[in-house]
Structure 1
């Protein structure tokens, strides 16, 4: 699948912790997809929520250039990365475990879009058992101002000011031209992440966590996505934390955030187990 290398981290919990929480059942594999510019030390704090519950976690953040440049120009480098991440499940022999996603901002959501498409259409990956997805501070749609704020935060405070403004101007022109002015035509060649998963949402349960104070992702974009997914018949829930800044929900409300994620995971696992038992009963000959 090309020459793209992926820098990921995988954590296996101690056997005693896994047994405590999952009691002989296969523990979930939680795939965490970081926001653009996310450092692994930050993403590891989220993976700890699940490791402490006996889950396997895989952490990955897509490079800035793939999120802000390749994807904007319609070059599907993220699709190659998505394929490689799903292949890891077979490499580590956990392809029969329940799969759970935790996705952050548009950077993670763009990559999740391709993973969801592969899981629904690819012959090998379509057998993987996805039980649910948590989406944190995403998705946003055609928000140039929010995108500029995101790239500014991703580049960090040490970049030369003149270079920063040149990059922002070029990026703004590119996004405005390709993703707004010409999008009515270019969407037939490369649909953006928001429209792709609004029109064909992944079929497993989803939880959207967001804040109306977010200055990068507009809360109405998240709410419209939730409404569209629900209208497609997909189980979906959402919660507005109200005051936190972009991808700061866990930082501001660590206990409530963790509780909501773990309660949702437990619900997804119960639903999946119930569906499996129902299939087994139906398959038993009379």
Structure 2
């Protein structure tokens, strides 16, 4: 369902919307509201979760559609967004915080569609999604309006990685695709490799005081809601050891963290190789997060400590 964005939707209007895609201030997202009967059947009259899916670099909406359907079929509202390639590979490498503004706009969407009081759940893919997730977490630390959102949990797929230049080059190579000129491809990869190696490896002990990477930022000041990390030892983009170290660090800080190693899939391919098990794990985790967040009369809010 496309068109110009209205100021807000009434409850009745939201119940009949099946999909809505638009670009607002440079944020091209897709939002889907499930059928009211489906939501009531799964959530028994309580507010259905709003699942925010943050795609990997180069991901398109058609790629996220299969993941979105996992949650839509369970009566969840879904919002899909993927950060632009130049923001992930260029702006972040040079320390520009463009994604911080994007994170702010994404959270404002919750208020635009009047779902800010619903339980919020994240599904994050690769470093491209995790970079954006990092800024969302920071906003929930610092922004008074957003600090009251009811975040119930997050699934992190094939992320995060830290200081892996080879993995970053593999990700960029896959993202550029075969259509790009061969010479241009090598030039871009060389420039990217030198930049990342200098700013994010050699000079990082100094540059981290100006712009800390996503891995260190989330590890040092993590969210308090439950998280599920899905990864694979066969991943050639994100080292499994980076994911396991993050899980260990978060547990040591008292965060409720689960993890599962699919062992054989390539990067961001767990659902492709094991669709039933992947869906089952994600939905079971969401259901448990919803149960854990229930209070006597209202939902317990997992708030980040200021």
Kept in 2, the 8 Å contact 1:208–1:222? The answer is yes
Q: Which shows bigger deviation, 270-279 or 193-202? A: 270-279
- Counterparts of 1:120 and 1:203 in 2: how far apart (Å)? 11
* Residue 15 in structure 1 maps to residue 36 in structure 2: yes
Matched residue SS, 1:273 = coil
Deviation for aligned residue 1:116: 1.0
Q: Report the structure, 1 or 2, having the larger helix content.
A: 1
In structure 1, the partner of 2:176 is 155
CA distance in 1 between counterparts of 2:45 and 2:167 reads: 45
* Cα deviations by residue, 1:196-220 (Å, 9 ceiling, x for unpaired): 0011111100000000000000000
Q: TM-score, normalised by structure 1?
A: 0.95
Give the conservation status (yes or no) of the 8 Å contact 1:4–1:81.
no
Match of 2:46 in 1: 25
Task: Report the Cα distance in structure 2 between the residues aligned to 1:25 and 1:221, rounded to whole angstroms.
Answer: 38
Specify every segment of 5 or more residues in structure 1 that has no aligned partner in the other structure, as ranges.
280-286
Tell me the residue number matched to 1:116.
Answer: 137
Indicate the residue corresponding to 1:185 in structure 2: 206
1:238 deviation in Å?
Answer: 0.1
CA displacement at 1:277 relative to structure 2: 5.9
Question: For each residue in 1:74-98, what CA deviation from the matched residue of structure 2 results, as whole angstroms up to 9, or x when unmatched?
Answer: 1100000000000000000000000
Instruction: Output aligned runs, 1:28-177, within 5 Å.
Output: 28-177=49-198
Q: Does 1:217 align with 2:229?
A: no
Tell me how far apart the structure 2 counterparts of residues 75 and 15 of structure 1 sit (CA, whole Å). 41
The residue number in structure 2 matching 1:197 is 218
- State the TM-score, normalized to the length of structure 2: 0.89
Length, aligned pairs only? 277
CA–CA distance in structure 1, aligned partners of residues 186 and 116 of structure 2? 45
1:4, 1:80 within 8 Å by CA — same for their partners in 2? no
Residue 120 of structure 1 and its aligned partner are, at CA, apart by 2.4
CA distance in 2, matches of 1:261, 1:245: 19
